Structures are given as structure tokens and as C-alpha cells.
Amino acid sequence: MVVEIGPGKGSLTESLLERAGRVIAIEVDSFLVHYLRQKFQQPVEQGRLILIEGDVLKTDLAQWGPAVIAGNLPYYITSPILERVFAIHGQWERAVFLMQAEVAARLAAEPGGRDRGYLSVLTQLRSTPEVLFDVPRVAFRPPPKVDSAVVRLTPRNRR
């Protein structure tokens, strides 16, 4: 099972449905939820895709049990989303997120580096972060003002 944060128009959702038995997609925009219900009518009817219209910051991510968490994180709420994921320790198997490249660098920053801070310490306390690859701004339409990176987080043992 995969919990997808912010499916938008469903580009990632489509790939996740090819690989996962079940996808729970949390989207705050009611227009996009309606669009996704039409686009993925068959998987919704089969129960393979569950669309949750709501704010991920107000959603209990642990309610579905252990899952992989994925998403193209909205840049302005990346830190609060990560804090929510880390708060459900033991309820996620791994997380893969597209995020602003500067934030990705902070997550993996080594002690003593200038990028190291609260988010670095929290992330490395709760997980092992790996920056998998960079995604240039020109890969998006319209292009954002910043570059992005894909990060995999593997949870650490609770002890």
C-alpha cells in the first residue's frame, strides 16, 4: 500500500497504481479530487485507489497501517509534512518525496555543515535520508523558480 501526498493531476498516481496493490491519495483541492475520480474511475470503483479530500496536515497518516509514503511535496509545507510522517514512527516502511533541492540537501547535511539545522537533525534521528537524483526546474510546466530533488527516507529503528 502507498499513501500519496498531493496527487495533483495524477501523474505519479498512475505509476503507483501500476506497482502497488492499493493507493491512498490525499488531495486538498476539491476540483482535483473530482478530476482524479473521473480519470481513475476504474481503480476507484475497484477499491485500488482511495481518494481523500483533505489537508494532509490534518489527516491521520497512521490510520491505514504500515505503508510506503510518496509525493511531490508542496514546497511551502515540506517541513510540517515531514514532521507528520516522523510522528507516526513504525507506521511507514519508507518514504520517497520530490522536494525543493535546497531542502533535500538540508535533510542529508553532515554535522558541522552550514546546511545542517533542526530539520537535518530530526530527519536523521528518525530516518536515513538519501538524495536519489536532482530534477531541474525545466522538467516542469510551468517551471518553478527552484530546482528539485527526489529523496528516499528509510525509517530508523525506534531505539
Q: What's the pLDDT band for 113 if we cut at 50, 70, 90?
A: confident
DSSP assignment, residue 5?
A: E
Between CA 41 and CA 88 the distance in angstroms is 30
Tens-digit pLDDT profile for residues 89-100:
888 999 999 999
Long-range residue pairs from 107-113, CB within 8 A, at least 24 positions apart, any chain:
107/82, 107/131, 107/151, 107/153, 108/151
Continuous H helices in 20-151: 30-39, 41-46, 78-87, 101-107, 118-126
Q: Give the pTM.
A: 0.93
As a whole number, the mean pLDDT across the chain is 94
| Per-residue pLDDT at 158 | 61
Tens-digit pLDDT profile for residues 51-103:
999 999 999 999 999 999 999 998 889 999 999 999 998 889 999 999 999 99
**C-alpha angle with apex 11: 109 to 95, nearest 5 degrees?**
35
The neighbour count for residue 14, using CB atoms within 10 Å, is 14
Q: What is the mean pLDDT of residues 26-36?
A: 98
